[in-house]
Structure 1
Amino acid sequence: MFALLDDALVAHVGVNVGDHPVVLPVAFAVDPDGPDDEGTLYIHGSVAARWLTGAESTTICVTVTELDGLVAARSGFHHSMNYRSVVAIGPARIVRDPDEKAHALALTVDHMVPGRSATLRASTRKELAATSVLAVALREASMKKRAEGPVDDPEDVEAGVWGGVIPLRRVSSGPVSGADSHADVPADVVARAASFA
């Protein structure tokens, strides 16, 4: 489970905003040794985001999925996907401790580009005040995966239609410097892009 959470880049958080639920994509980070039971999953957003600030003490659902392949079977019924998925359910806790909040935000940056947070200036008080961080314990987390070829009925296999898997993976086309960038592409960014080759 932690290997998938380390590999994946996008989580989806499901929260109830009163009259309806919403599911939103978010950046995330995980601290296996975090302060919550079985580790902590962090997500963040604007303090103006009603869904985030209203989630405190409510049960939320966070899912992370990586698609690894399309499974083409001999019948529509048996088509599938190869994937790895984690679902974490639990009460959301707004992180108020300044040290934990700074740690969670640094973990989020480093989840995207390992080692990046150490190369950046510290967050300003204004930036920290504008950002909320939610924490969810990984106590109620489970992983599910599929990693196999098509599972067809024998008569469909005998019909001679092709069946198999189309493997999928993330690929980077390389870093692109911003128009106002004064520096060469740093080693941490080069290494991260290379990890998707």
Structure 2
Amino acid sequence: MTSSALSSTPGTRITRLRERGRTDPASLHALLADGLVAHVGVVRDGRPVVLPSAYAVDPAGPDEGGTLYLHGSVGAGWLGRMEGTEVAVTVTELDGLVLARSAFHHSMNYRSAVVLGRARLVTDADERHRALDGIVDQVVPGRAATLRPMSRKELAATVVLAVPLAEASVKVREGDVGDDAEDVSDGAWAGVLPLRRACDGVVSNPDSHDEVPDDVRRRAEAWGAPTGRA
């Protein structure tokens, strides 16, 4: 289920620097498609905990607004108890360091999303397979199709959670330094250091004797791997 605008709730409403907010779901989907790591905030045994996690997104998923999938080990028993529990998921991409003439105006160029919702334990076999394939493809698009199927033992050891995308916010900072006029007149240097994800090339495992697969090569080249080293 999709909507024409992101939700505006007490949890997602941007109250500072509102001009950086994005209200269209396309901005959320684009950021989530670019990201690699989500940070998941939960309350465990009465204490707040934030954990990094690989993830996948299905904008047309079965939950309201689409579905964000997370996974983890059954061995982390608390994860399997998250059914119906409120969670917060954040994804941030850093695009640059904004170096101002004053400490106060130093900043970063970034794209950041916050998703709030009740976690749903995914038990349907087909949806679990789609979610786990999606998590692999989030890292290297197309890779899931090249791998052997997960074994029953591996599936039994894995918890998959779904979080609806219905309640979410996106905030973006881009552009130049925003210094005060008096600081600009002082003549000190200011500027931006653009940042991007980069790959130096593929390092094959010592016991891997095949050519680098096309999916891995494409991913490396997309991140700037030098020709001949992908």
Please give the range of the TM-score, normalised by the shorter of the 2 chains. over 0.9
- Give, in whole Å, the separation in 1 of the partners of 2:62 and 2:206: 41
**Corresponding residue for residue 121 of structure 1:** 148
- Give, in whole Å, the separation in 2 of the partners of 1:21 and 1:51: 13
Give the match's secondary structure for 1:176: coil
| Alpha-carbon distance, 1:111 to partner | 0.8
Q: Once the two structures are aligned, what percentage of the paired residues are identical?
A: 61
Q: Are 1:85 and 2:97 an aligned pair?
A: no
**Corresponding residue for residue 104 of structure 1:** 131
Kept after mapping to 2: 8 A contact 1:41/1:136: yes
**Corresponding residue for residue 89 of structure 2:** 62
- Give, in whole Å, the separation in 2 of the partners of 1:182 and 1:96: 37
- Give, in whole Å, the separation in 1 of the partners of 2:166 and 2:32: 14
Map residues 1-197 of structure 1 onto 2, 5 A cutoff: 1-197=28-224
- Unaligned 5+ segments in structure 2 are 1-27, 225-230
Which has the larger displacement, 89-98 or 45-54?
45-54
- Unaligned 5+ segments in structure 1 are none
Query: Which letter does structure 2 place at the counterpart of 1:17?
Result: R
Give the match's secondary structure for 1:77: coil
Give the match's secondary structure for 2:104: helix
Query: Which letter does structure 1 place at the counterpart of 2:212?
Result: V
Query: Which letter does structure 2 place at the counterpart of 1:106?
Result: D
Give the match's secondary structure for 1:49: coil
Give the match's secondary structure for 1:67: strand
Aligned pair count? Answer: 197
- Give, in whole Å, the separation in 1 of the partners of 2:208 and 2:168: 41
> Which contiguous aligned blocks of 4+ residues in structure 1 show a shift greater than 3 angstroms?
none
| Alpha-carbon distance, 1:142 to partner | 1.1
Render the CA deviation track for 1:81-134: whole Å, top value 9, x for unaligned: 000001000000110001000000001111111111111111110000000001
TM-score normalised to the size of structure 2?
0.84
Kept after mapping to 2: 8 A contact 1:44/1:131: yes
| Alpha-carbon distance, 1:149 to partner | 1.1
Kept after mapping to 2: 8 A contact 1:16/1:55: no
Give the match's secondary structure for 1:105: helix
Give the match's secondary structure for 2:31: helix
Which has the larger displacement, 125-134 or 49-58?
49-58
- Give, in whole Å, the separation in 1 of the partners of 2:115 and 2:196: 24
Render the CA deviation track for 1:53-81: whole Å, top value 9, x for unaligned: 23221100000000000000110001000
